[in-house]
Amino acid sequence: MARGKAANAPAVLTLLKAAFIGCVVSVALIVIFAALMWKQVVGVELIPIVNAAIKVIGAAAAGFFAQRGCGSRAWLFGGAAGLIYAMLAYAVFSILSGSFALNMAMLSDMGIGLLSGMLCAMVTRAAAR
């Protein structure tokens, strides 16, 4: 029994590390977008579009780094990393905003994270062949 837990630990750490990298990518993109808004290069009407794009890019980054750390089933690891990224990002930004509510937006974010992480891992793995 302990042997199975030890074998799963590296996979869990890989997924958590990939999700954390996705969050770092998201924060960097948010800072860049905020700087562009501050310099008035882009307007506030782009916030919903850029918000969705940042979620997809962050989950894709998580999927990319997760598939690098797995041997097989890259699509599964990529999807799991994207899902963990979405949950982690939602928790972090909910804490920052001061409101945490489970709603359809969170489910939508989880679906976006799952699909974009999975797709990025599949495309990356297929391109490497």
Domain locations in the chain as residue ranges: 2-128
Mean pLDDT by 10 residues, the chain (129 residues): 54 92 95 94 93 96 91 90 94 84 88 96 90
Report how far residue 55's alpha carbon sits from residue 57's, in angstroms, rounded to the nearest whole number.
6
83-101: pLDDT as tens digits: 999 999 888 888 888 888 7
Q: How far is CA 27 from the centre of its chain?
A: 11
Which pTM value belongs to this model? 0.87
User: What is the model's pLDDT at position 101?
Assistant: 79
125 neighbors 68 (Cβ within 8 angstroms): no
Dihedral in degrees, nearest 10, Cα atoms 67, 69, 73, 77: -60
Q: What percent of the chain has pLDDT over 90?
A: 67
CA angle 122, 106, 115 (to 5 degrees): 10
- Find the largest Cα–Cα distance for the chain: 58
89 neighbors 51 (Cβ within 8 angstroms): no
